[in-house]
Amino acid sequence: MNLLPDIRAFIKDVPDFPKPGIVFKDFTPLLADARGLALAVELMANPFRGVQVDTVIGAESRGFIFGIAIAQALSAGFVPVRKAGKLPRKVRGITYDLEYGTDRLEMHADAIASGTRVLVVDDLLATGGTLDACARLVHEGGAVIAGLSVLIELEALGGAKRLEKYGKVHSVIRC
């Protein structure tokens, strides 16, 4: 008997959200299930146990959900990467393309010291724009990418290929 939940069963497809032609992967049912959430965090964190990770970063807002939990699991710090205009002190920012538009991400300029080993975390990898923007912010500050971890990868959109320059992307679910 398998006591672990099937994480895929918690992911709900929502067609035509946020715009026609997009199939949104809604993982909020997973967040509501204690065992499913714990398993998702462990599956995202486990490949990085024994690898030096000083800081985990996650992009607003869904990257925060898993990023903080993974940082705790790895005994690392967490640095939020926010949308433009949300941080109160001096920032470094980057504008990037999404699969359905453009956006800008920022982090505090002093949030990550040079040489820090950073794990970049997000909920979903589509075209790779958000993770690439986060990784570029890490590199601009002189830090090192220790890895990238996502809950869901949409393989057909090729985001992992775009991110190869930072190392292998760990994906729990590939669709």
Report the pLDDT value the prediction gives residue 148, as an integer from 0 to 100. Answer: 98
Parallel, antiparallel or unpaired: strands 91-98 and 117-125: unpaired
Instruction: Determine which one of 42, 99, 136, 162 is catalytic.
Output: 99
Over the stretch 44-53, which tens digit does the pLDDT of each residue have? Answer: 999 999 999 9
Q: Tell me the mean pLDDT in the region 23-41.
A: 95
Helix axes 34-45 and 62-73, enclosed angle (nearest 10): 70
Over the stretch 80-117, which tens digit does the pLDDT of each residue have? Answer: 999 999 999 999 999 987 666 788 999 999 999 999 99
For residue 139, give every residue at least 6 positions away whose Cβ sits within 8 Å of its Cβ, in sequence order, or none: 145
Specify the pTM: 0.92
99 is catalytic: yes
132 pLDDT band, cuts 50/70/90, is very high
89 is catalytic: no
Over 50: is that where the pLDDT of 1 sits? Answer: no
Q: Tell me the mean pLDDT in the region 143-172.
A: 95
Over the stretch 58-89, which tens digit does the pLDDT of each residue have? Answer: 999 899 999 999 999 999 999 999 999 999 99
Instruction: Determine which one of 35, 42, 60, 62 is catalytic.
Output: 62
Report yes or no: 140 and 147 within 8 Å, Cβ to Cβ.
Answer: no
